[in-house]
Chain A
Amino acid sequence: MQIAVNIAVLASIYALICCGYVLIYRATRVLSLAHGELMMLGAYGLYATASLFKGHPLIALAAAAGLALAVGLAVYAALMWRMTGESVLAAVLATIALGILLRGAMMLAFGTLTQHPLRDLGWENASIGLPGGARISAVGAALILSTGLVYGGLFAFLRGTRWGMRMRAAGQNPLLAAQRGIGLHGIYALSWGLATFTGGLAGMLIALDAGLESTLVIIGLKAFPAALVGGLDSLVGALAGSLVVASAEVLLIQYVDPLLSDVVPFFVLLAMLVVRPWGLFGTREELDRV
Chain B
Amino acid sequence: MNVARSSGYYRTRYGEDFALLDTKTQKAWCAVFVAALLAYPFVAGPLALDLANQVLLASLGAIALMLLTGYAGQISLGHAGLLAAGAFTTGILFKELAAPFWLTLPAAALAGAALGVIFGLPSLRLRGLYLAVSTLALHFIVIYAGGEYETRRGFSTGIIVDPPRLGDWALDEPRAWYFVLLAAAAATLLFAANLLRSRTGRAWRAIHGREAVAAALGISVHRAKLSAFVVSSTITAIAGCLFAYYRGFVSAEAFSLYLTIEYVAMVIIGGMGSLLGALLGTVFVVLFPYAIDAAMNLLGLAERLSSVVFAVNYSAFGLVMILFLVFEPQGLVGLWRRAQDWFLLWPFKQRPLAGPR
Residues of A within 8 A of B (CB): 31, 79, 82-83, 86, 88-90, 92-94, 96-105, 107-108, 111-112, 221, 224-225, 228, 259-260, 262-263, 266-267, 269-270, 273-274, 277, 287-288, 290
B-side contacts of A100, CB under 8 Å: 258, 261, 314-315, 317-318, 321
Interface size on B, residues (CB 8 A): 43
Taking the complex as formed, is B343 at the interface, i.e. its CB lies under 8 A from any CB of chain A? no
Residues of B within 8 A of A (CB): 69, 75, 122, 125-130, 132-134, 136-138, 140-141, 144, 147-148, 151, 257-258, 261, 264-265, 268, 308, 310-319, 321-322, 325-326, 329
Q: Are the C-beta atoms of B322 and A101 separated by less than 8 Å?
A: yes
Q: Complex Cα distance A287/B127, Å?
A: 7
Question: Considering residues A97, A269, A290, which has the most beta carbons from chain B within 10 angstroms of its beta carbon?
Answer: A97
User: Which A residue's beta carbon lies closest to that of B118?
Assistant: A270
Known: A90-B268, A100-B314, A108-B311. 19 other contacts (CB 8 A): A31-B129, A86-B325, A89-B128, A92-B129, A93-B325, A97-B318, A97-B319, A98-B322, A103-B311, A104-B317, A108-B312, A228-B130, A263-B144, A266-B140, A273-B122, A273-B126, A273-B137, A277-B130, A287-B127
User: Pick the contact of B137 from A79, A88, A266, A277 — CB < 8 Å?
Assistant: A266
10 residue pairs from A and B, CB less than 8 Å apart: A89-B75, A96-B321, A100-B314, A102-B318, A107-B308, A108-B308, A108-B311, A262-B140, A270-B138, A273-B137
User: Pick the contact of B315 from A82, A90, A108 — CB < 8 Å?
Assistant: A108
Q: Are the C-beta atoms of A88 and B129 separated by less than 8 Å?
A: yes
A-side contacts of B312, CB under 8 Å: 104, 108
User: Pick the contact of A104 from B122, B128, B318, B326 — CB < 8 Å?
Assistant: B318
Measured between C-beta atoms, what is the minimum distance from A35 to chain B in Å?
Answer: 13
Q: Are the C-beta atoms of B141 and A290 separated by less than 8 Å?
A: no
Q: Are the C-beta atoms of A90 and B129 separated by less than 8 Å?
A: no
B-side contacts of A288, CB under 8 Å: 127
Q: Are the C-beta atoms of A277 and B318 separated by less than 8 Å?
A: no
A-side contacts of B316, CB under 8 Å: 104
B-side contacts of A273, CB under 8 Å: 122, 125-126, 130, 133-134, 137
Q: Which 6 A-B pairs have the closest CB atoms?
A: A101-B318, A104-B315, A104-B314, A107-B311, A100-B318, A97-B321
Contact A107 to B127, CB < 8 A, known contacts A93-B264, A269-B137 = no
B-side contacts of A263, CB under 8 Å: 140-141, 144
User: Which A residue's beta carbon lies closest to that of B311?
Assistant: A107
Q: Complex Cα distance A263/B141, Å?
A: 6
Q: Complex Cα distance A262/B332, Å?
A: 37
Q: Are the C-beta atoms of A97 and B322 separated by less than 8 Å?
A: yes
Question: Considering residues A100, A259, A262, A273, which has the most beta carbons from chain B within 10 angstroms of its beta carbon?
Answer: A100
Q: Are the C-beta atoms of A104 and B126 separated by less than 8 Å?
A: no
B-side contacts of A112, CB under 8 Å: 311
Contact A79 to B128, CB < 8 A, known contacts A104-B317, A105-B315 = no
B-side contacts of A86, CB under 8 Å: 325, 329
Q: Are the C-beta atoms of A88 and B128 separated by less than 8 Å?
A: yes
Q: Complex Cα distance A197/B313, Å?
A: 28
User: Which A residue's beta carbon lies closest to that of B326?
Assistant: A82
User: Which B residue's beta carbon lies closest to that of A222?
Assistant: B140
Q: Are the C-beta atoms of A93 and B311 separated by less than 8 Å?
A: no
User: Pick the contact of B130 from A101, A267, A287 — CB < 8 Å?
Assistant: A287
User: Which A residue's beta carbon lies closest to that of B316?
Assistant: A104
Question: Considering residues B308, B314, B326, which has the most beta carbons from chain A within 10 angstroms of its beta carbon?
Answer: B314
Q: Are the C-beta atoms of B132 and A92 separated by less than 8 Å?
A: yes
Q: Complex Cα distance A31/B130, Å?
A: 10
Q: Complex Cα distance A31/B134, Å?
A: 13
A-side contacts of B130, CB under 8 Å: 228, 273, 277, 287, 290
Q: Are the C-beta atoms of B261 and A79 separated by less than 8 Å?
A: no
Q: Complex Cα distance A98/B329, Å?
A: 16
Measured between C-beta atoms, what is the minimum distance from A77 to chain B in Å?
Answer: 13
Q: Complex Cα distance A260/B140, Å?
A: 11
Measured between C-beta atoms, what is the minimum distance from A26 to chain B in Å?
Answer: 13
Q: Complex Cα distance A285/B321, Å?
A: 32
Q: Are the C-beta atoms of B141 and A266 separated by less than 8 Å?
A: yes
Q: Are the C-beta atoms of B314 and A97 separated by less than 8 Å?
A: no
Q: Complex Cα distance A267/B141, Å?
A: 7
User: Which A residue's beta carbon lies closest to that of B148?
Assistant: A259
Q: Are the C-beta atoms of B318 and A269 separated by less than 8 Å?
A: no
Q: Are the C-beta atoms of A262 and B261 separated by less than 8 Å?
A: no
